[in-house]
A and B are shown apart, each in its own frame.
Chain A
Amino acid sequence: MLSYDLTPEQDMLRKTIRDFAEREIKPIAQKIDEKEEFSYDLVAKMGSLGLFGMTISPSHGGQGLDYLSYVIAIEELARVDACQAATVAAENSLGIGPIYHFGTEEQKQKYLPDLCTGKTLWGFGLTEPDAGSDAGGSKTRAELKNGQWVINGSKIFITNGASRITAGVTVQAVSSTQDGKREISCILVPAGTAGFTAREMHHKMTWRSTNTAELYFDNVTVPESNLLGRRGDGFRQMLATLDSGRLGIAAMGLGGAQGAFEAALSYSKERKTFGMPISRHQAIAFKLADMAMEIEAARNLLYKACWLKDQGRPFKKEAAMAKLYCSEVMKRVTDHAVQIHGGYGLMEEYPVAKFYRDQRLLEIGEGTSEIQRIVISRELGC
């Protein structure tokens, strides 16, 4: 039976996150973006609200929420600021997710309680300077020597990887090569391990107030027990992580589109040309109609993908579609929003310029739009 009603808890959650974003994030979002400043204060506040470990079971310190609730929370954060939404989404899906889903009980007990309150953060080291979409091309190596993993290599564009409160990172590495076949494993590396350096990346066009890191591993040695899940399971772990991660990125596209649309709608009612608000000129009104329509379609697609996941049904294709569609909808919506603002749309004093910049990442991160099309077409049997 088809129902479009959210549960009372989901409604309340949306209102809470919206109020929080309006009251706590909006007043400083533009300023910290300009300074490329990562806000520890906001992380602490988002932590006490319960935004980290949202889908993790309460027995491990999480909130035990469904994926639709998680996506609504990310959507509401992104409606105001892509950066805080990114910090939360990356932490939930890439930082906490793999430890929770693949870690041993001991690893979970050790890391999850602090990660789920936002006291600490965790990065997921996948992309390398020479390996992104071609994740199998990883050059980072992990060698098992005398019961210890020795890791060498580097990672790039790692969200939450170099903050003061980053407790460590999950590193995907080639753990052996036999007959030309590469075995990929994920290994947990705590911050402060000798030979492990995390450096903040700056001069970004998008997500300027997130923490983005370059990671260097120079003979980094950790116990064998730091292996995440089973040896050789790293590639499968990464794919499963990205399937769920796509829902978060899609939510950022949806929320960002919503925020840019609202800004454009309200501006169009105030700005007058030829003696009337520009919203009453058909050229502008039709843009707004298209924006609202595409946002509605994007929301339905994304919520359905969440519903499939929450029902325990296959959702790979729908998650890829939602990620691809929501990020492209935000592209078109922010483009219209800037156009509607005219010259002011190019000024950072208005929020649409930031929405326009922040959108660009969504077509690249956690699987480019091209990769999403590959995923979808393979699901179609192409």
Chain B
Amino acid sequence: MKIAVLVKQVPDTETKIRIKGDSSGIETDGIKFVVNPYDEYAIEEAIKTKEKNGGGEVIVVSMGPARTVESIRTALAMGADRGIHIDDAGLQADSHVTAKILAAALQKEGGVEVIFCGKQAIDGDCSQVVQGVAELLGISQVMIAVKFDLREDKKGALIQRRIGGGSQEVYDVSFPVIVGAEKGLNTPRFASLPGIMKAKTKPLAVLKAAELLGESKPRVSFVNYRLPPERKAGKILQGQEPAQMAAELVKLLREEAKVI
């Protein structure tokens, strides 16, 4: 069973984001980059699925600059078998272009039955790539998955996904499928020390994003980056009778906040 995991390297969740002087992007100097947290669930589920299947191969695919290799190595240290780094040097990618490139890489690889990825990356938070890849490959997709049970025939899975209001849907899907992992799908394992040492020697192929993309052009262009406005201090009404304060509150909500 060939299993792929799509991984993105993102700024650490505790990073304080700064915008470049010319507003063309974020300042990457001094940022610690990590595996997108949702992708960690995807990596774990891929390795678990291989284990449950009693064999197979887990391939980590990640697009990004040279430093992306660190994230691929992390997945290899956790137990994935080999990596594909898609070098995106010189490319301005939007979700559409990213999905095209990843889909092309998966097609090139061929024979992948299950693809796991995080339901979204915590940097851009677009949550569009999984669906895009599914569409481009013409395969089933299940987003926001919280449970993945390999079917007995090992040719499909029962996948639970979270929907609104605390309910869940269960899909019985035949492979191939792409799964968007949600928090709670599993508890990602730690890369063991022997795993870290072994990761060094696992195969890692490099592909060029531009070659995989072909003629497609991005549909989104980035005009500039801005930090969200700072939250203003709240207002506390005090010193009056409750009825008076309520009236004052309604007045402020209507005239100042303009929400009613």
Q: Is B51 an interface residue (CB 8 A)?
A: no
Q: Is A135 an interface residue (CB 8 A)?
A: no
Which residues does chain B contribute within 8 Å of A51, judged by CB atoms? 193
Q: Is A297 an interface residue (CB 8 A)?
A: no
Q: Is B192 an interface residue (CB 8 A)?
A: yes
- Whether the Cβ atoms of A54 and B70 lie closer than 8 Å is no
Q: Is B52 an interface residue (CB 8 A)?
A: no
Bound-state CA distance A63–B193 (Å) is 7
Q: How far is the CB of B50 from chain A (nearest CB, A)?
A: 18
- Whether the Cβ atoms of B190 and A64 lie closer than 8 Å is no
Interface positions, chain B 163-215, Cβ under 8 Å from A, are 190-197, 199-200
Bound-state CA distance A9–B195 (Å) is 10
Q: Is A49 an interface residue (CB 8 A)?
A: yes
- Whether the Cβ atoms of A16 and B190 lie closer than 8 Å is yes
- Whether the Cβ atoms of B193 and A49 lie closer than 8 Å is yes
Which residues does chain B contribute within 8 Å of A58, judged by CB atoms? 194
Query: In the complex, which residue of chain B has the Cβ closest to the Cβ of A64?
Result: B197
Against A, the Cβ 8 Å flags (1 = close, 0 = not) of B211-226 are: 0000000000000000
Q: How far is the CB of B87 from chain A (nearest CB, A)?
A: 17
Is chain A's binding surface mostly helix, strand, loop or mixed? helix
Q: How far is the CB of A264 from chain B (nearest CB, A)?
A: 18
Q: How far is the CB of B194 from chain A (nearest CB, A)?
A: 5
Query: In the complex, which residue of chain B has the Cβ closest to the Cβ of A54?
Result: B193
- Whether the Cβ atoms of A48 and B197 lie closer than 8 Å is no
Q: How far is the CB of B91 from chain A (nearest CB, A)?
A: 24
Against B, the Cβ 8 Å flags (1 = close, 0 = not) of A92-132 are: 00000000000000000000000000000000000000000
Against B, the Cβ 8 Å flags (1 = close, 0 = not) of A48-74 are: 111100100010000111000000010
Bound-state CA distance A90–B252 (Å) is 65
Which residues does chain A contribute within 8 Å of B194, judged by CB atoms? 50, 58, 63
Query: In the complex, which residue of chain B has the Cβ closest to the Cβ of A23?
Result: B190
- Whether the Cβ atoms of B70 and A9 lie closer than 8 Å is no
Given A12-B191, A50-B192, do A63 and B70 touch, yes or no (CB 8 Å)? no
Given A63-B197, A64-B197, A65-B197, do A12 and B77 touch, yes or no (CB 8 Å)? yes
Which residues does chain A contribute within 8 Å of B191, judged by CB atoms? 12, 16
Which residues does chain A contribute within 8 Å of B200, judged by CB atoms? 9
Bound-state CA distance A180–B193 (Å) is 48
Against A, the Cβ 8 Å flags (1 = close, 0 = not) of B62-94 are: 000000011001100100000000000000000
Query: In the complex, which residue of chain B has the Cβ closest to the Cβ of A48?
Result: B192
- Whether the Cβ atoms of B192 and A12 lie closer than 8 Å is no
Q: Is A8 an interface residue (CB 8 A)?
A: yes
Which residues does chain B contribute within 8 Å of A233, judged by CB atoms? none
Which residues does chain B contribute within 8 Å of A20, judged by CB atoms? 190
Against A, the Cβ 8 Å flags (1 = close, 0 = not) of B130-162 are: 000000000000000000000000000000000
Which residues does chain A contribute within 8 Å of B77, judged by CB atoms? 12, 16
Q: Is A270 an interface residue (CB 8 A)?
A: no
What range describes how many residues of B lie at the interface? 10 to 19
Query: In the complex, which residue of chain A has the Cβ closest to the Cβ of B77?
Result: A12
Which residues does chain A contribute within 8 Å of B193, judged by CB atoms? 13, 16, 49-51, 54, 63, 65, 73
Interface positions, chain A 9-59, Cβ under 8 Å from B, are 9, 11-13, 15-16, 19-20, 48-51, 54, 58
Is chain B's binding surface mostly helix, strand, loop or mixed? helix
Bound-state CA distance A65–B200 (Å) is 13
Bound-state CA distance A11–B200 (Å) is 13
Instruction: From A12, A20, A49, A65, name the one whose CB has the most chain B CB atoms within 10 angstroms.
Output: A12
Query: In the complex, which residue of chain A has the Cβ closest to the Cβ of B193?
Result: A50
Query: In the complex, which residue of chain B has the Cβ closest to the Cβ of A20?
Result: B190
Bound-state CA distance A20–B77 (Å) is 15
Bound-state CA distance A64–B201 (Å) is 15
Q: How far is the CB of A210 from chain B (nearest CB, A)?
A: 21
- Whether the Cβ atoms of A12 and B190 lie closer than 8 Å is no
- Whether the Cβ atoms of B74 and A49 lie closer than 8 Å is no
Query: In the complex, which residue of chain A has the Cβ closest to the Cβ of B195?
Result: A50
- Whether the Cβ atoms of B196 and A16 lie closer than 8 Å is yes
Bound-state CA distance A13–B195 (Å) is 10
Instruction: From A19, A63, A64, A73, name the one whose CB has the most chain B CB atoms within 10 angstroms.
Output: A63
Query: In the complex, which residue of chain A has the Cβ closest to the Cβ of B200?
Result: A9
- Whether the Cβ atoms of A12 and B73 lie closer than 8 Å is yes
Bound-state CA distance A65–B77 (Å) is 15
- Whether the Cβ atoms of A8 and B192 lie closer than 8 Å is no
- Whether the Cβ atoms of B190 and A11 lie closer than 8 Å is no
Q: How far is the CB of A47 from chain B (nearest CB, A)?
A: 10
Which residues does chain A contribute within 8 Å of B196, judged by CB atoms? 9, 12-13, 16
Bound-state CA distance A64–B194 (Å) is 9
Query: In the complex, which residue of chain B has the Cβ closest to the Cβ of A45?
Result: B190
Which residues does chain B contribute within 8 Å of A15, judged by CB atoms? 34, 74
Query: In the complex, which residue of chain A has the Cβ closest to the Cβ of B34?
Result: A15
Which residues does chain A contribute within 8 Å of B34, judged by CB atoms? 15
Bound-state CA distance A60–B48 (Å) is 28
Q: How far is the CB of A310 from chain B (nearest CB, A)?
A: 15
Q: How far is the CB of B170 from chain A (nearest CB, A)?
A: 30
* Pairs A–B under 8 Å by Cβ, sample size 25: A8-B69, A8-B73, A9-B199, A11-B70, A12-B73, A12-B74, A12-B191, A12-B196, A12-B199, A13-B193, A16-B77, A16-B190, A16-B193, A19-B190, A20-B190, A48-B192, A49-B193, A50-B193, A50-B194, A50-B195, A58-B194, A63-B193, A63-B194, A65-B197, A73-B193
Known: A13-B193, A16-B77. 11 other contacts (CB 8 A): A9-B196, A9-B200, A12-B73, A50-B192, A50-B194, A63-B193, A63-B194, A63-B197, A64-B197, A65-B193, A65-B197
Nearest 6 pairs of A and B residues by beta carbon = A50-B193, A63-B193, A50-B192, A16-B191, A50-B194, A20-B190
